[in-house]
Amino acid sequence: MYNFNFHSPNSIEEAINIYNSSEEPKFLAGGMTLLASMKQRLIAPSDIIDLRNIKDLSEVSSKENHITIGSLCTHSEISNNVIIKNKIKNLAKLANGIGDPAVRKMGTIGGSIANSDPAADWPAAILALKANIKTNNRIILNRDLFTGMFETSLEENEIITSIEIQVPDFFDYIKFPNPASRYAIVGIAIAKYDNNVIVTVSGASHKPFIADSLSESLSKNFSSKIPLKTISLDELNEDIHASAEYRAHLIDVLTKKIINNN
Amino acid sequence: MHEISIKITINEKIYDRSILPNTLLIDFLREELGLTGTHVGCDTSQCGACMVLHNNAAIKACSILVAQLNNQEITTIEHLQKDDKLHPMQNAFRNNHGLQCGFCTPGMIMSAISLINENNSPTEEEIRKHLEGNLCRCTGYQNIVKSIEEGAKDMREKG
């Protein structure tokens, strides 16, 4: 790992000031992707700005039918949080399926979302649920956040502060993990609000996406009789782990599995 | 790049040091302090040989900077033994031959203690699921799981 200047600001304002006056800075949350990338010299920031000393970013709260999750909550904290377990229990289950226990102790929801790994678990869930991403200066609608592979609509010096989610009538997420990395070869999230169902897919393309036909079909009839092979193979990744066709099949299989488990 | 001052408590001993910001915890433990019980296996956050305890939970020392741990506490495998007596989990690994080559053992033991701190009577399935972040290249998992079952029982009994 190349060297860098290290900062641990106590406030968002301070963090942004440091960012603006540094050459090639990076914000650090849990570091579960950033540090690994720096060790491999895929990235060499001039300055690392550790966000973990900033207060109030690690809280979970609920108000009426919404929950708010602070961006620095770790996957482990989310999986054990009573509010989340009561309101959207499968969100706690999702958190408990990321990486391994030691990774979950460090990795954060905000870090994962800002990183926008196409095979990560949180982005699919955030996209399926009615969710807003709050940053230090605005609110971003979930559908406007994930713009590409490791790309988001966040400005470089913008920090996610929390994620606000409307509690759904039903939510679940399951993945078919790569046996070595545990990243999703395909992951499916389904969120239902009244008769409005959204199905999202992670791992299968360059970014998480909404499966329109599946969403439409499940909105009309929430049963496992879904239309098959609705996703164009051109949209899907093809690599040593799985062909596009295999991923398309997994999308149908996992969607049905969620409905049948319901 | 400037060195930074940090204060970190390791095994109940406070260290005030000036370090380069890119110092990983694992290198600090092994190279600076000579605490070589914590091992480097994959160095990519997969194998868990480098696990140490932070707030009673196992984390991977290869994937955290010392700078992130300013004013915090870490416990390593060297600090489990008290008054010349092995920790119950260490003892359980010895009784059940919970190791083959022994390279992954420090990480396995720290991981097991972390599990028991959260759940003091895990089922076999819970133990196996918890070990997702620890690799044994000798594939000696049967006895590792047996060891953790016994270690959990002893930790419960000894409070």
Give contacts of A50 with chain B, Cβ < 8 Å: 67-68
Beta-sheet pairing, B13-19 with A170-177: unpaired
Q: Give contacts of B 41-100 with A, CB under 8 A.
A: 43-45, 48, 51, 54, 57-60, 63-65, 67-68, 70
Structural domain range at position A25: 5-50
What are the domain boundaries of chain B?
4-77, 88-157
Q: Which of B6, B62, B68 to mutate to test the interface with A (most CBs of A within 10 A)?
A: B68
Residue A182, pLDDT score = 83
User: What confidence tier does B1 reach under pLDDT thresholds 50, 70, 90?
Assistant: low
B140 and B100 Cβ atoms separated by less than 8 Å: yes
With a cut of 70, say whether residue A234 has pLDDT above it. Answer: yes
The distance from CA A237 to its chain's CA centroid, rounded to whole angstroms, is 19
The CATH number for A245's domain is 3.30.390.50
Instruction: In whole angstroms, give the CA distance from residue A6 to residue A48.
Output: 5
What are the tens digits of pLDDT across the range A61-74? 999 999 999 999 99
Same domain? For A180 and A144 the reply is no
Q: Which CATH class is domain B88-157?
A: mainly alpha
Give contacts of B65 with chain A, Cβ < 8 Å: 6, 31, 35, 48
Give contacts of B113 with chain A, Cβ < 8 Å: none
User: What confidence tier does A262 reach under pLDDT thresholds 50, 70, 90?
Assistant: confident
Token pair listed for B145: 């799981």
- CA of A166: how far to CAs of A61, A219, A237, in Å? 12, 18, 31
Q: Tell me the HSE value of B15 on the side-chain side, using a 13 A CA sphere.
A: 19
User: Can you tell me the mean pLDDT for A179-183?
Assistant: 84
Looking at this predicted complex, what is its ipTM?
A: 0.95
User: Can you tell me the mean pLDDT for A220-247?
Assistant: 94
Out of 3.10.20.30, 3.40.30.120, 3.40.50.1400, 3.40.50.10490, the CATH code matching B4-77 is 3.10.20.30
Residue matched to tokens 């049963």: A223
- Where among A132, A150, A166 does a domain terminate? A166
Residue A179, pLDDT score = 85
What are the tens digits of pLDDT across the range A119-171? 999 999 999 999 999 999 999 999 999 999 999 999 999 999 999 999 999 99
With a cut of 90, say whether residue B53 has pLDDT above it. Answer: yes
